Chains A and B, each alone.
Chain A
Amino acid sequence: MVYLTRKLEFSASHLYHNPAFSAEENRRVFGKCNNPHGHGHNYVLEVTVAGEPDPATGMVLDLKELKEILQREVSDRMDHRFLNYEVPELSGQIPTCENIATVIWRLLDPKITSGHLHRVRLYETPDLFVDCYGESIGAQAGEGDAR
């Protein structure tokens, strides 16, 4: 098994606010992230695909194809967007690093048809990042989607 990682950067704004909390509770739980005007980050995404190199091409999957998938599924949706309001997949969720990484996993997993998605790592800053390991459709082909 070989693990291939492709990196992507996107910049976006967000804010943390739970309408079920009082204003005071929102400020206490989310601190500066509760600023109603939002704030932004340069996110760095690392997508790792696992698989065996194809004997004919020597590749786990075509990097150009992966680059296009990342462009379409992640950059086009999230780059230079306000995540709370402009990304329907995050609507009703607080756009924490945990939730964004989970959404990215679900967007990418069905699109990776050579090898299978192994890990989504999303950096919000160099000091804060999340690893998401889902149940890849590709890794359990024939066993159905257990999610």
Chain B
Amino acid sequence: MKLHLWRRYKFCASHRLHSAQLGEEENRRVYGKCNNPYGHGHNYVVEVAVSGPADSSTGMIANLADLDAFVEREVIEPFDHKYLNEEIAEFQENIPTTENICIEIFNRLRRFSLAKLERVRVEETGLNSFEYAGEPAGVAHER
């Protein structure tokens, strides 16, 4: 019996999609409105799945209080009400597309020690979402 416990979190943040490898016009063409130099924001939703056996004394894969505190510290507190491009070190080089945000959140949460991180799903809006479950063992993610 395999169990995945999913927990849903929210944060609000701004970003700008702009690639230093592309010219001004190319950036506008590729990213459209998302290239607005002042940035813009979203209400992001993050769903986190962890797995493991349900502990026989608590019936739980992981205590939600522990998972919530970890996600709050690693992701929500640093990301919420921030300008991701400027205030998250990883996005000073990587473009904060929701793909990259999803991978970054996964990499931060994989250090959770009380259950196995299975998957991260991020909704940028209610109309688009991205999922990342890590790379197969031995394959580092190239960005």
Contact = CB atoms under 8 A, between A and B. Distances in A.
A94 B5 contact: no
Contacts of B65: 31
Nearest to B53: A98
Nearest to B64: A128
A128 B8 contact: yes
A143 interface: no
A16 B65 CA distance: 14
A98 B93 CA distance: 40
A125 to B, nearest CB: 9
Given A29-B63, A31-B65, A130 B5 contact: yes
B6 interface: yes
A20 interface: yes
B125 interface: no
Contact of B5 (A95, A97, A102, A133): A97
Interface string A114-147: 0000000000001111111111000000000001
Contact of A130 (B6, B9, B57, B58): B6
Contacts of A147: 1
A43 interface: no
The 3 closest A-B pairs by CB, nearest first: A94-B59, A96-B59, A98-B54
Interface of A: 16, 18, 20-21, 29-31, 93-99, 101-102, 105, 126-135, 147
29 contacts: A16-B58, A20-B57, A29-B58, A29-B63, A30-B58, A31-B65, A94-B60, A96-B54, A98-B3, A98-B59, A98-B61, A99-B54, A102-B1, A127-B9, A128-B6, A128-B7, A128-B64, A129-B5, A129-B6, A130-B3, A130-B6, A130-B61, A131-B4, A131-B49, A133-B1, A133-B3, A133-B4, A134-B2, A147-B1
